[in-house]
């Protein structure tokens, strides 16, 4: 009986091996269920085995909003398990340390905020002759201050790649085979970069000061910038060589017009402010010297018409009185009688029976006469 009890487990274990069931399943089976936002994601688990070597489980594509990662490959002895999530649309990646045990099922939930780095950061180094560097090294310092250096190997088109670079400001320095260096101090690594690898190209300048290779990226006016996209650096270089001069001219004119359109309004505003300041300063200076605006304009040859009367009610001056010769009547203009002082237009009265005398008939001299029909000078 003792022999049978000893033999049965061995027979059972041998049968499991013959059926193709790994022995580690017996003590390491389990599942890690990862929940995440809807999208195109791939998930896997990274860990260290019993010997300290880095290992990883097969990647699992997300179906819906959950993914199940089999823990059987971990074995009985493993440490430092980390779940990795890759966004296939953007090329960004996120990691989170987890605690799992053999034979158990555990569920965790990841959010978009857990994706904090670009999965591939590509640097391409170009020499003075416009050709890719074939030797040297590239040093990258990420936003967390962590630095890492990769060699520039021959036959790689001057391309060096770094993995899982965190979002934020990143510094890149290229050391060429001749000992010269070229650095890009600030490269802003953002989550909304173009899909694929985040690419940067650093090119040395030729002796005459012209760039040996074009540089593109997020840093704008710097000597070298971040060139984003999923195309490799070698493909970008070949496209630049195949571009026609006409297209290059059109692109250059577009780049010149874009900043000009934005700066035109600001320049006009500054010019208007300067002119207004000059005019105000001149006005204050003339005012302090007691010079009016009309006088200042008159010195410049500008004549201002005089102001018109306040209204039409202004009275005109009376005409001068008519000069009457001495001894002439002011009414008819004839000479007066020297004895009586009467003239042809004078009326005399004498008493009659009724107390009133008829008026004396005027002397008909043939000259114009003035006849008064009312008032004290009647006649």
SS3 298: helix
- Tokens for 113, please give them: 């905020």
Sign of the four-CA dihedral 234, 238, 239, 240: positive
Residue environment code for 49-60, b if the CB has 16+ CB neighbours within 10 A, otherwise e: eeeeeeeebeeb
Q: Give the residue among 202, 209, 170 at the shortest CA–CA distance from 186.
A: 170
Gyration radius from the chain CA atoms: 56
Note the pLDDT of residue 301. Answer: 72
Are 62 and 40 spatial neighbours (Cβ–Cβ below 8 Å)?
yes
- pLDDT score recorded for residue 310: 53
- Identical fold, 23-110 and 117-239: yes
**pTM greater than 0.85:** no
Helices (H), 333-373: none
Question: How many alpha carbons lie under 13 Å from residue 209 in its C-beta half-sphere?
Answer: 0
Pick the CATH number of 117-239 from 3.40.50.2300, 3.30.930.10, 2.60.40.420, 2.60.40.10: 2.60.40.10
Domain-wise residue ranges, the chain: 23-110, 117-239, 324-379
* CATH number of the domain located at residue range(s) 23-110 in this protein: 2.60.40
pLDDT recorded at residue 365: 54
Alpha-carbon distance of 128 to 8, in angstroms, equals 75
Type and span of the H or E element at 377:
none
DSSP β-bridge partners for residue 121: 162, 198
CA 305 to chain centre: 50
Q: How many residues does the chain have?
A: 379
Q: How far is it, in rounded angstroms, from Cα 56 to Cα 178?
A: 40
**Residue with the two structure tokens 């967390």:** 144
Over its length of 379 residues, how does the chain's per-residue pLDDT go in tens digits? 444 454 454 454 445 444 444 444 334 468 899 998 888 899 999 999 888 999 999 999 887 788 889 888 888 788 999 999 999 889 999 999 998 887 788 899 998 899 999 999 999 999 988 999 999 999 999 999 999 999 999 999 999 999 999 999 999 999 999 999 999 988 999 999 989 999 999 998 655 444 443 333 433 333 333 334 334 444 444 445 454 444 455 554 555 555 444 566 788 889 999 989 898 888 888 788 777 777 777 777 777 776 655 555 456 677 777 677 777 777 777 777 777 777 767 766 554 444 454 555 555 555 666 776 666 666 6
Strands 147-151 and 115-126: unpaired
């Amino acid at each position: 009986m003792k022999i049978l009890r000893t033999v049965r487990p061995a027979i059972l274990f041998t049968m499991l091996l013959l059926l193709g069931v790994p022995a580690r399943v017996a003590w390491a089976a389990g599942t890690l269920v990862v929940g995440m936002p809807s999208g195109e994601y791939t998930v896997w688990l990274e860990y260290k085995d019993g010997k300290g070597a880095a290992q990883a489980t097969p990647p699992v594509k997300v179906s819906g909003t959950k993914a199940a990662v089999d823990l059987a490959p971990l074995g009985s002895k493993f440490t430092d398990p980390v779940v990795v999530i890759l966004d296939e649309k953007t090329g960004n990646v996120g990691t989170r340390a987890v605690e799992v045990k053999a034979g158990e099922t555990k569920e965790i939930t990841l959010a978009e905020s857990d994706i904090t780095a670009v999965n591939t950061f590509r640097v391409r180094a170009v020499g003075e002759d416009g050709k890719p560097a074939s030797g040297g090294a590239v040093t990258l310092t990420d936003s967390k201050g962590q630095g890492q250096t990769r060699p520039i190997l021959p036959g790689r088109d001057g391309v060096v790649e770094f993995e899982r670079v965190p979002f934020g400001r990143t510094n890149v320095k290229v050391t060429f085979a001749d000992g010269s260096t070229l650095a890009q101090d600030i490269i802003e690594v953002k989550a909304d970069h173009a899909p694929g690898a985040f690419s940067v190209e650093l090119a040395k300048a030729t002796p005459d000061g012209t760039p040996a290779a074009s540089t593109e990226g997020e840093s704008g006016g710097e000597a070298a910038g971040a060139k984003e996209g999923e195309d490799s650096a070698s493909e970008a270089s070949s496209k630049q060589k195949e571009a026609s001069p006409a297209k290059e001219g059109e692109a250059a004119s577009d780049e010149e017009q874009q900043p000009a359109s934005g700066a035109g309004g600001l320049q006009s505003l500054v010019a208007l402010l300067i002119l207004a300041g000059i005019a105000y300063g001149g006005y204050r200076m003339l005012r302090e010297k007691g010079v009016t605006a009309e006088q200042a304009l008159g010195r410049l040859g500008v004549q201002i018409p005089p102001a018109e009367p306040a209204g039409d009610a202004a009275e005109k001056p009376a005409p001068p009185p008519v000069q009457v010769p001495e001894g002439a009547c002011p009414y008819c203009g004839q000479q007066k009688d020297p004895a009586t002082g009467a003239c042809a237009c004078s009326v005399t009265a004498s008493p009659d029976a009724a107390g009133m005398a008829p008026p004396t008939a005027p002397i008909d001299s043939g000259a114009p006469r003035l006849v008064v029909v009312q008032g004290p000078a009647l006649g």
